[in-house]
């Protein structure tokens, strides 16, 4: 009788969507287009020679650790090295607090597996990271949008939203947010931790860009503020009590193709991560984990991060200067102090998706902002990435985009 595949799909499939951004990429795939659309880091900054040297060493000295099946929670020396590194950043952690994941993207999905039932609510910043919307959506959840301004998520709105919708957790990107590039102020960081504790709603802090600060003063991650409120953590030098699950990744500092990231959480939750991950992929790629470990052990991460910061600072400056020169004055934009992205707000009534077609004709591309909003708003916004385009090309791209905007705004 043959198979009619679509009659067999699980209900879950109705909730799943493909990335709108990837669909947009199909439209703008052309070698002569200046694309400020992608969220990819600059490939010329990948530490290729160092990784080559490490691979050679690993296959000679540690072939078993690099090629054999490994532990679900990760290569123990890597977990230890990351725990030490987190502790240096003010997040007391031991190996038991660290779970290595296949990219932070997997950690988002595992959070869904562990916490989300159909019909549950998840609070997200509005706009927020598309990959998180995709991951959580697959569990049949409802989103509660929390608006942002130039100081980050508007945490003063939280108590009312929590009372009304009872979200399972709040997904927050306090540092160089994707897509807006905005960073949450210190005052709001303290407030959100107080609210999380008082109202019993955990925070999922996603921090892939925190290390990529190229201007301004560093701010503590939410997890550091949370752990400092519970004296036992510092006493034991480990994460025992707190309100935050913290995620970070080597994707923006080493290379995203390695797919090595980590979660920091209390040991009891780490156990749940392990159970959820076992069924997904047994463990994160062993060779990639040993590469990351060797990179850290040799002390190569800091200089690598510095190279990235220097490059991105130059590119952000080039983008902001070109915007000042070429965009009409009615257009607003953020000036991020780190990360990869800058956010543009056009006057009300304009539609960035429509503009993209005109921009593509002039061989320049960006990502329209509306897919990043869970409530269908944001038609007049767009995201620009300065990470993977050289300064002169950025200038030309912004000039072309300025022409498109001026055609509408005079
Ligand atoms: C906010 C945010 N979270 C998570 C990820 C996924 O990172 P990974 O490559 O570690 O899966 C990204 C990647 O762009 C991101 O921007």
Domain residues for 175? 49-300
Q: Are 113 and 40 in a shared domain?
A: no
User: Is 208's C-beta closer than 6 angstroms to any atom of ligand 1?
Assistant: yes
Q: What is the CATH number of the domain that holds 75?
A: 3.40.640.10
Which residue among 42, 103, 124, 177 is best mutated to probe the pocket of ligand 1, counting the most ligand atoms within 8 A of its Cβ? 103
Pocket test for ligand 1, best of 105, 172, 252, 262 (most atoms within 8 A of CB): 105
What Rg value do the Cα atoms of the chain yield, rounded? 22
Which pLDDT score, from 0 to 100, does residue 305 have? 98
pLDDT tens readout for residues 39-57: 899 999 999 999 999 999 9
Residues 293 and 318 in one domain: no
Residue 354, pLDDT > 70, answer yes
Residue with tokens 């935050």: 244
Is residue 256 in contact with ligand 1, taking CB distance under 6 Å? yes
Per residue in 198-215, is it b (16+ CB within 10 Å) or e — as a string?
eeebbbbbbbbbbbbbbe
Task: Provide mean pLDDT across the span 257-261.
Answer: 98
DSSP 97: G
The model's pLDDT over 123-141, given as tens digits with 9 standing for 90+, comes to: 999 999 999 999 999 999 9
The mean pLDDT of 378-391, rounded to a whole number, is: 97
Mean pLDDT, to the nearest integer, of 364-376?
95
pLDDT of residue 32: 87
What is the 155 CA–ligand 1 centroid distance (Å)? 23
Residue ending a domain, choose from 300, 317, 341: 300
Look at residue 22 and tell me whether its pLDDT is greater than 70. no
**Are 128 and 267 in a shared domain?**
yes
Percent of the chain with pLDDT over 70: 97
Q: How many domains would you assign to the chain?
A: 2
Distance CA 327, CA 407 (A): 11
Q: What is the pLDDT of residue 27?
A: 66
Q: What is the DSSP letter of 41?
A: P
103 pocket-lining for ligand 1 (C-beta < 6 Å): yes
In this prediction the pTM is: 0.96
- Select from 300, 319, 349 the last residue of a domain: 300
Q: Is the distance from the beta carbon of residue 39 to the nearest atom of ligand 1 less than 6 Å?
A: yes
Ligand 1 contacts CB of residue 82 (under 6 A): no
Ligand 1 atom 11: the closest Cα is on which residue?
A: 103
Q: Same domain, yes or no, for 224 and 318? A: no
Position 26 pLDDT exceeds 80: no
- Using CA positions, which residue lies closest to atom 14 of ligand 1? 39
* Mean pLDDT computed over 151-180: 98
Does the Cβ of 171 fall within 6 Å of ligand 1?
Answer: no
| Nearest Cα residue to 34 out of 402, 406, 395, 404 | 395
Is 292 found in the same domain as 245? yes
Nearest alpha carbon, ligand 1 atom 16: 178
Looking at the structure, tell me whether residues 194 and 313 fall in a common domain.
no
Q: How far is CA 73 from the centre of its chain?
A: 21
Burial code of 219-250, b = ≥16 C-beta within 10 A, e = fewer? bbbbbbbbbbebeebeeeebbbebbbbbbbbb
Indicate if 188 and 260 belong to the same structural domain: yes
CA distance 295 to 292: 5
User: Residue 21's pLDDT band (boundaries 50, 70, 90)?
Assistant: low
296 pLDDT tier (thresholds 50, 70, 90): very high
Ligand 1 pocket member 173 (CB < 6 A): yes
130-137 and 103-115 helices, crossing angle to 10°: 30
- The rounded mean pLDDT for the chain is 96
Helix (H, G, I), strand (E, B) or coil at 340: coil
- Provide the pLDDT for residue 19: 66
For residue 87, name the pLDDT band (cuts at 50, 70, 90): very high
Reported as a pLDDT band with limits 50, 70 and 90, residue 410 is confident
For the CA of 129, the nearest atom of ligand 1: 1
Measured from the Cα of 102, ligand 1's closest atom is: 11
Residues 94 and 34 reside in one and the same domain: no
**181 Cβ closer than 6 Å to some ligand 1 atom:** no
Same domain, 272 and 193: yes
C-alpha 211 – ligand 1 centre gap (Å): 14
Q: Which atom of ligand 1 is nearest to the CA of 177?
A: 1
For residues 371 and 243, state if they share a domain. Answer: no
Inter-CA distances, 381 with 126, 133, 181, 345, 355, Å: 12, 18, 13, 5, 11
Q: Is 217 in the same domain as 154?
A: yes
For residues 296 and 324, membership in a common domain is answered with no
Q: Is 23 or 50 the better-scoring residue by pLDDT?
A: 50
The alpha carbon dihedral of 238, 240, 241, 246 has a sign of positive
**104 in contact with ligand 1, CB cutoff 6 A:** yes
103-115 and 267-281 are packed helices; what angle lies between their axes, rounded to 10 degrees?
110
Mean pLDDT of 302-323: 98
Question: Residue 20's pLDDT is what?
Answer: 65
190 pLDDT band, cuts 50/70/90, is very high
Does the beta carbon of 251 lie inside 6 Å of ligand 1? yes
Tokens of 197: 């504790």
In the reported structure, the alpha carbon of residue 249 is separated from the centroid of ligand 1 by a whole-number distance in angstroms of 8
- pLDDT at position 102 is 98
Å from CA of 259 to ligand 1 middle? 10
Instruction: Return d(Cα 175, Cα 177) in angstroms, integer.
Output: 5
pLDDT at 38: 87
- Final residue of a domain: which of 300, 332, 363? 300
Q: What digits encode the pLDDT tens for the residues 227-238?
A: 999 999 999 999
How far, in Å, is the centroid of ligand 1 from the Cα of 206?
A: 8
Ligand 1 centroid to Cα of residue 254, in Å, is: 13
User: What is the DSSP code string of 11-37?
Assistant: THHHH----HHHHHHHHT--TTSEE--
What's the CATH number where 18 sits? Answer: 3.90.1150.10
Give the model's pLDDT for residue 394. Answer: 98
């Amino acid at each position: 009788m043959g198979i009619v595949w679509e009659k067999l799909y699980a209900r879950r499939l109705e909730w799943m969507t493909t990335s709108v951004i990837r669909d947009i990429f199909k439209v703008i795939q052309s070698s002569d287009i200046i694309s400020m659309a992608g969220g990819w880091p600059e490939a010329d900054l990948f530490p290729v020679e160092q990784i080559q040297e490490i691979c050679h060493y690993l296959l000679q000295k540690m072939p078993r650790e690099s090629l054999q099946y490994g532990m679900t929670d990760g290569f123990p020396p890597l977990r230890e090295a990351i725990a030490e590194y987190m502790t240096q950043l003010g997040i007391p952690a031991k190996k038991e607090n660290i779970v290595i994941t296949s990219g932070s993207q997997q950690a988002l999905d595992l959070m869904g597996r562990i916490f989300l039932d159909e019909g549950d609510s998840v609070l997200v910043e509005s706009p927020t990271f598309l990959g998180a919307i995709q991951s959580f959506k697959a569990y049949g959840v409802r989103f509660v949008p929390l608006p942002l301004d130039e100081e980050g998520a508007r945490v003063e709105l939280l108590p009312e939203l929590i009372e009304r919708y009872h979200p399972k957790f709040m997904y927050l990107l306090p540092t160089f947010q994707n897509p807006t590039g905005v960073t949450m102020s210190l005052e709001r960081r303290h407030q959100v931790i107080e609210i999380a504790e008082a109202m019993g709603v955990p925070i999922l802090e996603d921090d892939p860009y925190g290390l990529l600060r190229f201007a301004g003063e560093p701010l503590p991650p939410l997890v550091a503020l949370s752990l400092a409120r519970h004296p036992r953590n510092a006493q034991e030098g480990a994460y025992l009590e707190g309100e935050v699950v913290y995620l970070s990744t080597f994707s923006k500092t080493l290379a995203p193709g390695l797919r090595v990231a980590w979660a920091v959480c209390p040991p009891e939750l780490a156990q749940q991560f392990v159970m959820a991950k076992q069924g997904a992929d047994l463990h994160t790629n062993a060779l990639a984990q040993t590469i990351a470990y060797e990179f850290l052990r040799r002390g190569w991460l800091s200089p690598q991060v510095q190279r990235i910061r220097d490059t991105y600072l130059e590119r952000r400056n080039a983008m902001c200067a070109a915007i000042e020169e070429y965009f009409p004055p009615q257009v607003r934009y953020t000036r991020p102090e780190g990360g990869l992205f800058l956010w543009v707000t056009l006057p009300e009534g304009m539609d960035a998706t429509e503009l993209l077609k005109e921009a593509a004709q002039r061989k320049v591309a960006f990502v329209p902002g509306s897919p990043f909003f869970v409530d269908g708003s944001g038609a007049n916004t767009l995201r620009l990435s300065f990470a993977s385009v050289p300064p002169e090309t950025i200038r030309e791209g912004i000039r072309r985009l300025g022409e498109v905007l001026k055609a509408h705004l005079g």
